[in-house]
Structure 1
Amino acid sequence: MNKLRLITSDLIQDLTKLSADASSIYWVTAFAMKSGVRLVLPSLKEALASNTEIKILIGDYLYITQP
């Protein structure tokens, strides 16, 4: 069982590692920008290739989310 912890820097490194080890991925985020999606996309594609279930919920906080 994973312990809850606060991540204050290098979030992409943690997301990449956790995604590689996961059997399912659930992400909830207030907004998404193209630059951030480009960073996580390779990890998500690898997870999909290994049949990992992925669910992502993205809001539009302050209308920041990019198409």
Structure 2
Amino acid sequence: MKSFFLMLSLFLGITSYTEAVELKQAKKSSTVFIQNKGQWDNSVLFLAKIKGMNAWITKKGIRYDI
């Protein structure tokens, strides 16, 4: 029974550490997606801001602003 709780504790510890690392890496990402909630033309679904460039994701494809 002790070994079960030891293994469970190790598993939970490793899992929470891994999630914390992934969250930290996601925050460092320079890509931001903004959903269109009526602030742009209806054909636009999302705006992706990627390192000084805008990528407009529309119903028909992707348009870039450089």
TM-score bracket for the superposition, by shorter chain length: under 0.3
* Structure showing greater Rg: 2
TM-score by length of 1: 0.23
Calculate the TM-score normalised by the size of structure 2. Answer: 0.23
